[in-house]
């Protein structure tokens, strides 16, 4: 896989084919998430794969009822074990949970892209509802949902130029 092509080619896909992702590909995608950088190498991320329509429906409703999600054959809910992080980082564990799960999500989406599997990162959802649906223990928090599937959708969005976001040595001149 060409990394530059993957980074520039990946996009938030919202239309999916009714085609199953093989276990081989899914395992490699999830392993990529597990291999993401993480605070203290504590590996506090947890991955919950959702492939049952009833669960997908419940998760979709918790995600502001974004109906397009139901087209995706799989959801991956990325969670973090806050108790594990808090033991070593009592003041920063919540921040590290966000960072760790975001890095895992990026790895998952990049590996999926390498198999021509499209994805979308979803952060708009009711955490307590997702917690209840997935029967998460108190110390496990959900941070994002990724939809995965094959699609004919093409990237149509543009990004700002580097000059728009880049500052050197200080935000203000």
* Residue-wise pLDDT tens digits, 102-130: 999 999 999 999 999 999 999 999 999 99
Q: Which of 128-132, 137-141, 167-171 has the lowest mean pLDDT?
A: 167-171
DSSP 16-68: --S-PPPHHHHHHHHHHHHTS--GGG---EEEEEE--HHHHHHHHHHTTT-GG
Domain ranges of the chain: 3-165
Q: What is the pLDDT of residues 50-73, one digit of tens each?
A: 999 999 999 999 999 999 999 999
CATH among 3.40.109.10, 3.30.70.330, 3.30.450.40, 3.30.70.660 for 3-165: 3.40.109.10
Cα 11 to Cα 9: distance, rounded to the nearest angstrom: 6
Give 68's contacts (C-beta < 8 A, 6+ positions apart). Answer: 14, 15
- pTM for the model stands at 0.94
Q: What is the pLDDT of residues 27-51, one digit of tens each?
A: 999 999 999 999 999 999 999 999 9
């Amino acid at each position: 896989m060409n990394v530059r092509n993957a980074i520039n080619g990946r996009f938030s896909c919202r239309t999916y084919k009714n085609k199953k992702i093989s276990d081989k590909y899914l395992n490699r995608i999830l392993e990529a998430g597990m291999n993401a950088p993480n605070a203290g190498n504590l590996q506090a991320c947890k991955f919950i794969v959702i492939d049952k329509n009833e669960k997908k429906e419940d998760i979709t409703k918790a995600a502001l009822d974004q109906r397009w999600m139901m087209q995706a054959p799989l959801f991956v809910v990325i969670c973090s074990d806050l108790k594990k992080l808090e033991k070593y980082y009592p003041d920063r564990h919540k921040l590290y949970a966000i960072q760790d799960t975001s890095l895992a999500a990026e790895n998952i989406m990049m590996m999926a892209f390498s198999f021509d599997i499209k994805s979308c990162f979803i952060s708009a959802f009711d955490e307590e509802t997702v917690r209840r649906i997935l029967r998460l223990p108190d110390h496990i928090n959900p941070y994002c949902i990724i939809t995965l599937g094959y699609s004919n959708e093409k990237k149509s969005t543009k990004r700002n130029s580097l000059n728009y976001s880049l500052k050197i040595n200080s935000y203000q001149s």
